[in-house]
Amino acid sequence: MRDALLIERAKAARKAPTPAEQRLWFALRAERFAGVKFRRQKVIGPFIADFASNAPKLVVEVDGHLHGDTADYDAERTAYLTEQGYQVVRFINADVMHNLEGVLRLLEDVVNNPLSQPSPLKGRGL
């Protein structure tokens, strides 16, 4: 029951993607780093990832508190995803909107050199 409520909460919060999420999605679809295919708003267990790839197991999140304060939810989601073997990388809206090239370079580096340790909550930053 709790899992269904979490998924519904996430879906409700993400009905209208932010401009940053839209911008990154178009770039991810165009770039296809080393053949990596991302899916948007992928359900993984009781959570929804902004962008996810199964090979490598990578989740990309775009945060900026435009959907409200979700710090507890984000921490729980990150912990769950890393337990499932996903590397989680987070960007804030401003990074995506003002430094998309830097975001894409960092993602390319992550795809080509995956971490052997789970990533920290806030990602690697720019």
**Residue range 94-118, pLDDT digits in tens:** 999 999 999 999 999 888 887 655 5
Note down the domain range covering 107: 2-112
> Does a structural domain hold residue 121?
no
> Does a structural domain hold residue 14?
yes
What pTM was computed for the model?
Answer: 0.76
Query: Per the structure, how many domains does the chain have?
Result: 1
> Does a structural domain hold residue 56?
yes
> Does a structural domain hold residue 94?
yes
CATH number for the domain including 64?
3.40.960.10
Q: How many helices (H) and strands (E) does the chain have?
A: 5, 4
Q: Report d(CA 45, CA 110) in Å as an integer.
A: 23
> Does a structural domain hold residue 64?
yes
> Does a structural domain hold residue 117?
no
Residue-level length of the chain? 126
Question: Which residue numbers in the chain have pLDDT < 70?
Answer: 1-3, 5-16, 64-70, 115-126
> Does a structural domain hold residue 90?
yes
